[in-house]
Structure 1
């Protein structure tokens, strides 16, 4: 027992030391990160051809379906084919006279939005990179968009980033596989063409605000809460103070004004849309959204991009920000926690089934 006690104390000291070291290192790295200027490069632009990705995927499946001898013959034939293609391409470039104009490129961007539209900064950088090389009237940008909406000003900025593409005369296509609602649809409507999967959620052209109020609880316990403002409408609704009918009316007027701006924004970019019929805050699934002209075509992003690979070079462009050590530790912790929760829920479900 004495040995176990000493061992337990030793183990506790080691764990305490490790935790303290991790905390100290995290604080140091976090402080260093905060000292970086905004102009300092804290990430990298990643660019790769999707044509090559899908070609390798197709050839991998083909190879798995062959016998060893068939695979050897097929590999030799492919090498000869690639060599002949390179030689033919080089010969065409060396030909005198006008060379046939190359087809336009298709640039694929991704946006996965949360309530704060946190992905807007990587999107902004990726768009800036694409606009520096894309040719108006020739190239195309495809945005794979997933978002249920969020803060008005955050998604207003995200939509404005997509407006930059159209203002340069570059065709913009929005692909929605799961959801583009509220602020997500504000972004999608910027596109020249919106494509969605059969059961993607679209619409929710409305504005919502909700907050709890603890005034009666505080009053019950004789706790005063004062809100001091300069300006009649500086604070219309509060969480702890007493809300008045006048304040509520002003708050509703602000919501209506924001809704009006939202409707005007969508109407300008999709003039054929009956905005009065769809700006009710309702949502539509893919096929129903097509019927009310919220989208232009039913198709998954995979279908669209694979088809695009047959007619042009398709390039994925993304900006990957470097994560700090605290962020990496937080991500690892949340991933482990999520995995544990799902494992427990799955075990419970299996037990119920049995």
Structure 2
């Protein structure tokens, strides 16, 4: 409607400025969201994505800064972006910041064009599972662990028991399936742009400059410069942001009836989330 109204105006009254909606998909990717820090999931980002694609503009610009996390949430976010791009007939530009690796790169694949900073970290097309094992801890502190299951595989990979070779093989088989899905997505979206490199799908990661050589990204640059070059010097960028209060964002004290023990549990869980998040970022030297 706005475009029609604009065309009906005298040419001298029309503005040549184009406003491009921008969304920031930043953070680790996890289904339930971080307790101390915001994280990425379809639930946390769907509203922003829908709002951006409802904007009267020829394209949507997305800033991605994520070391990865849940492959399921990564793919759900990717699919929501692609579905709306097709439905609204809009072009999607993805700009990587510090890192768009693993699940972060999976989200970046939603872009019709991926533009990276020369020093961005991209790639890490692989799957990883990490945990700790404490098989001797309980003995040392005099605690007896009792586990009763209906189904002989219900206690697979119990951290308080020694690892079993068959359990490890089962986990690796699952990882290979998820990895194949990731590889298929990269090949579908990047196609002939990809270089024939034996390390491409091994989980290695590269700078944006090397990623350009490998075909993982389309260009090097920054959002403002690229969008002005594409849509004109008068192009404006409009950030689409969620409106949340300080406490609601962290999810610690959002409930008025929260009990002290619930708040303590949330804080403890938040520390675990923070440690996991720190480990993900640290993989890329950040």
The normalised TM-score by structure 2 is 0.70
- Distance in 2 between residues matched to 1:219 and 1:234, nearest whole Å: 22
Q: CA deviation at 1:128?
A: 1.2
The normalised TM-score by structure 1 is 0.58
- Alignment match, 1:323: 246
Paired residue for 1:205, among 125, 141, 165?
A: 125
SS at match of 2:206: strand
Structure with bigger gyration radius = 1
Deviations 1:203-244 (A, max 9, x none): 001111121111123345564324333345444211112321
SS at match of 1:179: strand
SS at match of 1:142: strand
Paired residue for 1:225, among 145, 156, 160?
A: 145
- Distance in 2 between residues matched to 1:313 and 1:115, nearest whole Å: 29
**Structure 2 unaligned regions, length at least 5:** 1-5, 34-38, 254-286
Q: How many residues align?
A: 236
CA 1:326 to 1:174, structure 2 compared with 1: closer, same or farther past 3 Å?
closer
Contact (CA 8 Å) 1:141, 1:171: kept in 2 or not? Answer: yes
Q: CA deviation at 1:277?
A: 4.0
CA 1:226 to 1:242, structure 2 compared with 1: closer, same or farther past 3 Å?
farther
- Alignment match, 1:173: 93
- Alignment match, 2:62: 143
Higher relative helix content:
1
Deviations 1:298-335 (A, max 9, x none): 112232244445164543222222333795999xxxxx
Paired residue for 1:155, among 74, 78, 91?
A: 74
Deviations 1:282-303 (A, max 9, x none): 0110111111000000112232
Contact (CA 8 Å) 2:68, 2:104: kept in 1 or not? Answer: yes
- Alignment match, 1:294: 216
Bigger mean CA deviation after superposition, 110-119 or 291-300: 110-119
Matches within 5 A, 1:88-99: 93-94=9-10
Task: Please provide the CA RMSD for this pair.
Answer: 3.3
Deviations 1:189-209 (A, max 9, x none): 111100001111000011111
